[in-house]
Structure 1
Amino acid sequence: MTTDTSQTQEVLTKIDNYVSLGSSGLKVSPLCLGTMTFGQQDEIVSKQVFDKYYELGGNFFDASNFGDGENESMLGKFIAGKRSKVIISTKYSTHPKVQNPKEPNLGSANRKSLVENLNASLERLGVEYVDILYTHIDYNDKIEDVLRGLDDVVRSGKALYIAIINTPAWITSEANAISNLRGWSQFIALSTQYNLIDRSFEFDLQPMCLKHNIGVVSYNTIASGFLSNRYTKESLASDSDFPAKKVVSEYAENEQNWKILEEVVRIAEEAGRTPSEIAINWTLQQPGITSVVAAARNLEILEENINALGFKLTPEQLSTLNNISLPRAIPFTQFYKPNPLHFASKPTSEYITSLKKLKTSKTDTE
C-alpha cells in the first residue's frame, strides 16, 4: 500500500534516531532487524534486506541460536568489516517447552549450556563478542548459578551485556537485586511479546522496566501476521497451511481480536498506512518501549516496517486502539496498584503521565 503524502504528518522517529537501551549506554535503532528469516529464504534477498537497513542507519540486529543457527551464520557474513558499527543480540538458551530432549544440557540456562551455546554462536557470527546475550529462565536452574555464569561471560568479554526473555517481573527484579548485592552484571533489557492482541506486558513488566530503567525490546508486534490483515476467517478455515497458521488460528478464535483488527484496518485507511504500520507505530508509542523487533522476508516488508516510524498516530487514534484492545483485569487488585488504563476510564494522556511518574519516583525517594 502506498503511503498517502498529501498531508504533512508528524514523524514519530527515524531508524537512525538512536535510543538508549536501558542503563547500558548502548544506542540502538528504534526498529531492530530480526534475522530469523535469514536462512529461510535466498541469501541474496537476505543480503538485500540487511544492506538496505544498514544503509539507512539501522544498527540493531537480533539473532538466535534456534535451530541450526543458520541466521547467525548468515548475519556473520553480512557484518564482516562492520563489527564496531553494529549492535548484535543473540540467545544462548531456548524456552523449556522447545528444548531438545536428546540434548538436555544444551537448551537450559545452566553453565554448560551457556558455554557451549555462546561459543557456537560466536563462531557462527565470526565475532569475538556479542553486545547483548539473552537468556530464558529455566526454573530447574538455581538463579544464583545462572547469574554467576552470566557475570563470568561478561567479565570474559564474550558478551558485553546480559538481558532476559519472557520472564515474570518478580523473577527479573529478584535476579537484578541479587546481582546488585553481589556486584554481578545485571539484566539491562527485557525481550517480550507485546502487541494490540497481547498487552499482558503492561500489568507488571512495564512498570518494573520504567521504574528500574530496563530497556524493552518487544517482538511479535503484528501478532504473527494477524494484525497485518492478510488472513480472513475463510482462509484460516481452509485446508491450506503456512508456518504461523496454528498461532494465527488461536488469535482468530477470539471474536474480540477481529474487532481489534477491524479498528486497525479502519485507522490504516484513515491515515493512508498499512495495518502493519499502524500496529508497529502503536507499540513504539507505548511507555517504556525502546525498540521493536521486526523481521523482513524481502525489501517490500522492510520498507513497510521502516515506514511505520514515519508518522504518529493521533491522540484520538491511540485512544481508540487502547480502548478496543483493553486487556482483562488481573485478579488481585486489592494488593496491587495497577496501570490506571486497565481499571478506569482515563484519557490516554493521563495514563501515560501516571506511568512516567513511576520512572521518576525512585529519584524522588532517594
Structure 2
Amino acid sequence: MAQDSTSPVQTTKALDDYVLLGRSGLRVSPLCLGAMTFGEQWGLGANKFESKKVFDLYYEKGGNFFDTACNYNFGDSERFLGEYVSDKRSEVVIATKYTCNTTAMLEDKRFNPNFGGNHRKSLVENLDESLKRLNMSYIDILYVHIFEYRTPIEEIMRSLDDVIRSGKVLYVGISDVPSWAFSRANTIAELRGWSPFIGLQTRYNLLDRSLEFDLQPACAEFDAGIIPWGIIADGFLTGKYTRESTANIKSDYRNQAIASHSKHEQNWKILDEVIAISKEINRSPVQVALNWTQQKPGITSPLIGARTVIQLEENLKSLEFKLTPEQMKRLDDVSRPTDFPFPNSFTDQFDKFIGKNMQVPNKFAPIAAAYNYGRLY
C-alpha cells in the first residue's frame, strides 16, 4: 500500500548514528548540542545545575558533539562544559571558537585590543584561555567565530595550521564567513599543505535560505560539513508567536529578532505551513523546522540549544521521523526566496546556450534545482 503523503517516514535514527564531519574521519552526532545556554551571565541560559541535566540527557542518548565559544556567558559556558566532560574527555568532540574580544565585555578588565580578531596573537591568547576554562589539553575543533575583514587570510590559515601542529587543536572550521573568503582560505590551505576548514557554521532556516546561494555550493566543492545554527529563527518557528501578539512588540534586546521577523508577511506564511504540517503529523513546529533542515543537502549536524531537559527532548524527537517529499516541497515552495542574487539570477537565462539537457555534477544539484539549471529545452 502506498504511503499517505501526509504520514512522515518513521525512523530509528538516534544521536549515536554518527556521521563524518566534512573531509575528515571525525565521527559526530547528527545533532550538535550548543552550549551558549550553559550559564546565566547573558540572561538567556540556565544555571550550572539545569545545564548539567541538559548535558547528561544528550550524552546518555549517545550524543558526543558539543559547541561553545570563548565569549559565551563570559566564559561560564566553557567552564561548565569542561567540568561536565572532565571524566569522559576521550568520548566527546568539543568545538569552541575564537575572535570575540572577551575583555571588551567585562568592566573589571582592562581592554586589550589584541584579544579580539582573527590574527595570530588573538588566536594564541584565546586558545590558551579556552583550554584553561575547559580544563583540557586539546580542542577537537577550533572555529574562527566570524570573518572580520582585518586579518590577511594567509595569516589566519598559517596560524591555525601551527596550532594544529602544536597538538592543541585537532581540526579547524569557520563560522559566519562570506563564500569568497571561505573558498580562498581552503584553496590556500590545500596548495600549501596546511589544514583546511572541515566545517562551516552559518545561519540557516526556513526564513533565511541565503546559505543555498553560494556557501552551500562552496562547501560541496571543498567537501566541508555544514553545521547550521538559528534553525528555529530566534524562536519565531516555535509557533508561540502570532500576528496579534507581535503587533506591538518592542524591538528591544530580547525581542528585536522577533520584531524583525514579524514585519514580513512571507514569514507568517512560512510559519502557517510549518504549523499546518506539524498538526498533520502530530509533531511540534520545532521538530518540523529541524527535520526540514536535517534533510537539506550538505547539512551535517544542525546546532540545537536548550535551557531545559524538556526543550532538549523536543529537539531530539526530530530524529524520529522524516518529512515526506511532498511535505518538504511544501516547505521549500513557501520559503523559496523571491529575489535571487546576481549572478544566480542571471546564469539561468544563459543555461540554454550551453547545451540541451546538460546536467550539472551531483554536488551542485541543489543549486541547479533552485535556479533551474540543466533543465530541458
Q: Alignment length, in residue pairs? A: 341
Q: How far 1:236 sits from its partner (Å)? A: 2.9
Letter in 2 for 1:111: R
Are 2:314 and 1:304 equivalent residues in the alignment? yes
Identical-pair percentage: 47
Q: Which residue of 2 aligns with 1:108?
A: 117
Q: How far 1:238 sits from its partner (Å)? A: 4.6
Q: Which residue of 2 aligns with 1:32?
A: 32
- Per-residue CA distance 1:1-32 (angstroms, 9 max, x = gap): xxxxxx88421731111000001211100110
Within a 5 Å distance, the mapping from 1:155-304 to structure 2 comes to: 155-238=165-248, 244-304=254-314
Letter in 2 for 1:34: G
* Cα pair distance change 1:333/1:34, threshold 3 Å: closer
Letter in 2 for 1:56: K
- Per-residue CA distance 1:90-146 (angstroms, 9 max, x = gap): 001139xx9899432212001111011111111000101110000022211111111
Letter in 2 for 1:50: F
SS in 2 for 1:24: coil
Letter in 2 for 1:82: K
Q: How far 1:147 sits from its partner (Å)? A: 1.1
Q: Which residue of 2 aligns with 1:49?
A: 54
* Cα pair distance change 1:271/1:243, threshold 3 Å: farther
Partner Cα separation in structure 2 for residue 356 and residue 26 of structure 1: 27
Are 2:99 and 1:89 equivalent residues in the alignment? no
Letter in 1 for 2:36: M
Do 2:118 and 2:151's aligned partners in 1 also have CA atoms closer than 8 Å? Answer: yes
- Per-residue CA distance 1:60-102 (angstroms, 9 max, x = gap): 000111241110000011001100000000001139xx98994
Letter in 2 for 1:46: S
SS in 2 for 1:296: coil
Are 2:72 and 1:62 equivalent residues in the alignment? no
* Cα pair distance change 1:336/1:87, threshold 3 Å: farther
Cα RMSD of the aligned pairs, angstroms, is 2.7
Are 2:348 and 1:331 equivalent residues in the alignment? no
Do 1:21 and 1:27's aligned partners in 2 also have CA atoms closer than 8 Å? Answer: yes
Partner Cα separation in structure 1 for residue 180 and residue 12 of structure 2: 32
Are 2:366 and 1:355 equivalent residues in the alignment? yes
Do 1:15 and 1:29's aligned partners in 2 also have CA atoms closer than 8 Å? Answer: yes
Q: How far 1:330 sits from its partner (Å)? A: 1.4
Partner Cα separation in structure 2 for residue 33 and residue 119 of structure 1: 23
Q: How far 1:329 sits from its partner (Å)? A: 1.1
Consecutive unaligned residues of structure 1, counting only runs of 5 or more, are 1-6, 341-350, 359-366
* Cα pair distance change 1:193/1:8, threshold 3 Å: closer
Partner Cα separation in structure 2 for residue 137 and residue 209 of structure 1: 16
Partner Cα separation in structure 2 for residue 93 and residue 8 of structure 1: 41
* Cα pair distance change 1:335/1:147, threshold 3 Å: farther
Letter in 1 for 2:365: S
Q: Which residue of 1 aligns with 2:326?
A: 316
- Per-residue CA distance 1:263-296 (angstroms, 9 max, x = gap): 0000000010000000000000000000010011
Letter in 2 for 1:87: V
Do 1:191 and 1:217's aligned partners in 2 also have CA atoms closer than 8 Å? Answer: yes
Q: How far 1:183 sits from its partner (Å)? A: 1.2
SS in 1 for 2:301: strand
Partner Cα separation in structure 2 for residue 227 and residue 357 of structure 1: 27
The alignment's TM-score, normalised by the length of structure 1, stands at 0.87
Q: How far 1:235 sits from its partner (Å)? A: 3.0
Partner Cα separation in structure 2 for residue 134 and residue 352 of structure 1: 24
Do 1:188 and 1:214's aligned partners in 2 also have CA atoms closer than 8 Å? Answer: yes
* Cα pair distance change 1:240/1:142, threshold 3 Å: closer
Do 2:238 and 2:285's aligned partners in 1 also have CA atoms closer than 8 Å? Answer: yes
Select which of 69, 74, 78 maps to 1:72.
78
- Per-residue CA distance 1:29-56 (angstroms, 9 max, x = gap): 0110010110122211111110110001
Consecutive unaligned residues of structure 2, counting only runs of 5 or more, are 1-6, 41-45, 352-361, 370-377
Partner Cα separation in structure 1 for residue 12 and residue 330 of structure 2: 18
Are 2:131 and 1:122 equivalent residues in the alignment? yes
Q: How far 1:240 sits from its partner (Å)? A: 7.2
* Cα pair distance change 1:186/1:37, threshold 3 Å: same
Q: How far 1:204 sits from its partner (Å)? A: 1.1
Are 2:141 and 1:132 equivalent residues in the alignment? yes
